[in-house]
Chain A
Amino acid sequence: MRLWLGLLWAAALLLPWYGFEKLSWSAMTPLVGQVFAGKYWLTPMLVPPLLASTARPRWCVAAGVIGIGWMAFEGLAITHRGPGPTQPALGWGALAYATACLAIAAFGLARRGWMRGDVFVAGSLLLVVGTILLFVAIPVSTILLSALRDNDGHLALVEFWDKFSDKSIWGLSCLQSDKACGVAWNSLQLAIIVGVLSTLLGLALALIAQRTRFPFPGLLRMLSLLPVITPPFVIGLALILMFGRAGFISNFLYANFDIPRSRWLYGMAGVAIAQVLAFAPIAFLVLLGVLQSVAPSLEEAASTLRAGRWRIFRTVTWPLIRPGLANAFLIGFIESLADFGNPLMLAGNFNVLATDIFFAVVGAAHDQGRAAVLALVLLIFTMAAFVAQSRWVGRRNYTSVSGKGDSGMPARLPNVLHGVCLAVVLPWLVLTVVVYSIIMAGGFVTSIGRDNSFTWKYFLTAFGVEHGVGGWFLSGSAWSSFITTMELSVVAMPLTAVIGLLTAWLIGRQSFRGRGAFEFLTMMSFAVPGTVIGVSYILAFNVPPVELTGTATILVIAFVFRNMPVGVRAGLASLAQIDRSLDEASATLRARSFRTLRLVLAPILRPAIVAAMIYSFVRAITSVSAVIFLTTAQYNLATVYIVGRAEIGEHGIALVYSAVLIVVMALALVLIRALVGEQKIGRRSAMVIT
């Protein structure tokens, strides 16, 4: 408490109130100075430190509410439109001030009996809710607001309705004529196709992996890792090199069988293939888990009741995994809607929402209103799918996760089904292997398919190191974006893990009113497509009070809040493995919640923490959709750089760079797995008495 009070006073008296990454002299002035400098409307902000100094719970709550409330009010009231006071972007002082206000309010609330008097729980809850509101809920709702306004900022409901119901979004002319349909229908159609196909492929592979003796288990493990470490657009790039107009397979077919080169790849077909290749491994992972959790004893019971293999599959296995299939479909559906890289590479004239949003912002039209409307449509789709997933599928889970060993053998596949699965899976595996060979090798040949001579040319252009006047320097064109990416990903990594696991702990181990809503809020950010986050950050953080566009901070924030739900899920899953009696034992031994978290749960959760960190690192590196709106010349990122190279036809550099990223991430994964694997913790199973 004393610490936070000190911070509050320091924020008011000493720290620069305005100015964040770029500090100017006038912005350096702290709060008190700003008030004397004529910003009289900041005067109420001097009240909270005085209130909090009483250390009375009631006044502390008031201090927090007044501090944050007035900050939000005056910040949003000054609009810079027309005459009136102006303000620069809030800075370090304001950040410290807001944090201290939160902590002091938590102290006051806890002392008044909230969260059973536990200051730490109250504080973390306020902190997590506050940051999620600021960086997810508020930006996303600014989309709605700006969709409702015209480009001059006036409320325009009629215009909104016109824009929302526009023919370019909802038009159905493709049904009667050969004109293009609305972009919403395109996206929906693509998402359904990709969802269905990737679920079926994933199921076929999962059945093969779990129910038959597949000769290449290593291949399957690789395949399960690939979607994690592949930047999403790279598959599209490889497909262009194979099947595009100048692709080597197209050339081969033209030269040998006289099949004319065409642009068939650029459109729905190409995007669908690329997305299925990219997302089927995710469906595979989901369904493998589902299949593994079907208790073999159920199938054995069916076979002792005289059911044949086919009947067992139809009457026992299939009904049990049905909710898992729905889940896999919805994941594929959401991923397809949110995917940005592949449509950017391959869509051609086939417009989808994710890329149309981007072009509405950066294109010649520069129509933020349209971008907002499109983002709204996309958000409605993904939210609907997310709600369906969490409400409907989540409650129909029959698979048994008892934790008890079930020593039966899963039933074997019916022969016909086995054949069908193999027939589907083998071509897919072959295609995947070819695609990845192209990605890894394509950057080291002069021109893939035409001139397959080995070359360092592209690698050196991108990652050259030269000796010049001032000694060694990084001359390659990719270094700057590569280093920025690594730095920002490393910064985001612990933040993501901490906030994700803290949230998981609040959801999984604390009980408070509104926990369901809190859980929904955190998980919801999973369903917000990256493009929507990108647009919303531009709309929300482009002007003071919180002006972050163009900074490295906003990229880190985008990484953290895009990837946090992964940490939450990992944390919840691991917490469920730890018996609650450990928390309770710690509590009866006089330890408060923070001590329990630090000394008991955190050490046991270490593998989950490491996994969350790694995942956040890798996802930060591979993300494109959100950050493509937020990068600048100063802070360019690897993926954005690669997309740029690929768009202007420099495939060699794009491939080399992708290959380097994949190798870096694979190394990071292997390294961490090795480290986590050595963790020696008496598992819970060791505590069961024999």
Chain B
Amino acid sequence: MTPTVRFNAVSKHYGTTAAVDAVSFEIEKATLVTLLGPSGCGKTTTLRLIAGLEHATGGGIEIDGRDVTRLAASERDVSMVFQSYALFPHMNVLGNTSYGLRASGLNRARAEAAAREKLALVGLAGFEMRLPSELSGGQQQRVAVARAIVLEPKVLLFDEPLSNLDARLRRRVREEIRGLQQQLGLTVVYVTHDQEEALAVSDRIIVMKDGRIAQDGAPRALYERPASRFIADFIGNANLAETMVTRLDAERVEIVLAGVKLVVRDADAFVGPALLAIRPHAISWGDALPGTIAKAAYLGSHMEYEIAVPGLAEPLFAIIHDVTRPRPVGDQVRLGFDPAGLALVPRG
């Protein structure tokens, strides 16, 4: 089966700087793939290259097996939900939603019927005659989604769709987007800089950095087996510490951290110096490693500590769910580690 989107060594140069640098990937039909990365990593440019709003300076782009590298946005079978929603302020909800169908040559009656159907799908039946300025942020967002899916595009693009919503609405809308994607079997490319959002909605995540792909894989794979120091830090804020692999066998890797022996579930390792990623959640009160509380903060559901450990260059950042017995700054503690939250990271 041909992939829905194929990037073949695509580059986008602005003058001498490369916003996207020889990027290749494929996106399968009916999957939700997230482009994740810090600002300026090239993820939005990649999305706009798929849409045809930017044109590649090198490489080739295929959508559903057809070469679209040189095609304008209006000639491509994609549609997009913009960060600002980009609803036409002078048209009502129905006008906005039927716009794409009318542009595709459908007559008014059929276009509006299809638009009403999709508006009902996103829960906006009855709002057809409102102007965008008369809707709440969440409603505007739904109009933008309805306007995009009504065209039944080969690929649906989302550019940071939740960034204009407040925190509580964000969770609900992202679930709705995921639900809609699975219900209609849409192929979606989704851009965000929020790793939690990416982990929550994606079938697959492509992490970008400096115009290149840093890692490409399922959410779980990215979290549990980060391919680099950057990924380990960016996804899940892992503590990174120098360590030494002392023994290897089929199931377990033994390492020494600050003089204490630990076990990691990781197959790809070599005996010798290595980098260990420790998830903040994987740290608990135990008996393995001695340390001193350097900072403590109460966040309601949990405590956040910075713990100085002799032999480690930087203090460890830990999230502890026991809030009933907070440890004061300066307190001497001993730490334990959940092996599921430990991973060896290739150097680089």
Contact = CB atoms under 8 A, between A and B. Distances in A.
A682 interface: yes
Contacts of A603: 90
A358 B263 CA distance: 97
A213 interface: no
B137 A690 contact: yes
Interface stretch (A24-32, A524-532, A590-598): A590-598
A595 B85 CA distance: 19
Interface string B90-119: 100000000110011000000000000000
Interface string A667-690: 000000000000001111011011
Contacts of A682: 89-90, 131-134
Top 10 nearest A-B pairs (CB, nearest first) are: A682-B133, A689-B137, A589-B100, A686-B133, A682-B89, A585-B86, A587-B73, A581-B86, A591-B103, A588-B80
B151 A687 contact: no
Contacts of B136: 689
Nearest to B134: A682
B147 A581 contact: no
A689 B103 contact: no
Nearest to B55: A116
A689 B72 contact: no
B84 interface: yes
Given A589-B151, A591-B100, A682-B89, 7 more contacts: A579-B86, A586-B99, A587-B52, A587-B73, A595-B103, A682-B131, A687-B132
Q: Chain A interface mostly helix, strand, loop or mixed?
A: helix
A420 B100 CA distance: 61
Interface residues of A, number: 29
A689 B165 contact: yes
B84 A581 contact: yes
A113 B70 contact: yes
Contacts, number: 101
Contacts of B87: 585, 687
B79 A589 contact: yes
B82 interface: yes
Interface in A112-141: 113, 116-118
Given A686-B132, A689-B165, A589 B99 contact: yes
Contacts of A599: 88, 99
A595 B103 CA distance: 8
Interface of A: 113, 116-118, 579, 581-582, 584-592, 595, 599-600, 603-604, 681-684, 686-687, 689-690
A361 B34 CA distance: 72
B53 A681 contact: no
Interface of B: 51-53, 55, 70, 72-76, 78-80, 82-90, 99-100, 103-104, 131-134, 136-137, 140, 147-148, 151, 157, 164-165
Contact of B78 (A588, A684, A689): A588
Nearest to B165: A689
B21 to A, nearest CB: 22
A584 B53 contact: yes
B164 A689 contact: yes
Contacts of B82: 581, 584-585
Contact of A591 (B74, B86, B164): B74
Nearest to A591: B103
A687 B73 contact: no
Given A589-B79, A600-B88, A687 B103 contact: no
Contacts of B157: 588
Contacts of B148: 588-589
Give the one of B84, B132, B148 with max A CB within 10 A. B84
B99 A591 contact: yes
A687 B165 contact: no
28 contacts: A116-B72, A581-B82, A582-B88, A584-B51, A584-B53, A584-B73, A584-B86, A585-B88, A586-B99, A586-B103, A587-B74, A588-B53, A588-B73, A589-B79, A589-B100, A589-B103, A589-B148, A590-B104, A591-B103, A592-B74, A604-B88, A604-B90, A683-B89, A683-B133, A687-B85, A687-B140, A689-B137, A689-B164
A590 B86 contact: no
Nearest to B90: A603
B74 A590 contact: yes
A118 B99 contact: no
A588 B75 CA distance: 8
- A579, A588, A590: residue with the most chain B Cβ atoms closer than 10 Å: A588
A118 B72 contact: yes
A118 B72 CA distance: 9
A116 B72 CA distance: 6
Contacts of A584: 51, 53, 73, 80, 82, 86
Given A116-B72, A689-B137, A681 B79 contact: no
A684 B82 CA distance: 15
B301 to A, nearest CB: 27
A115 to B, nearest CB: 9
A252 B100 CA distance: 74
Contacts of B55: 116
A682 B95 CA distance: 14
A584 B79 CA distance: 10
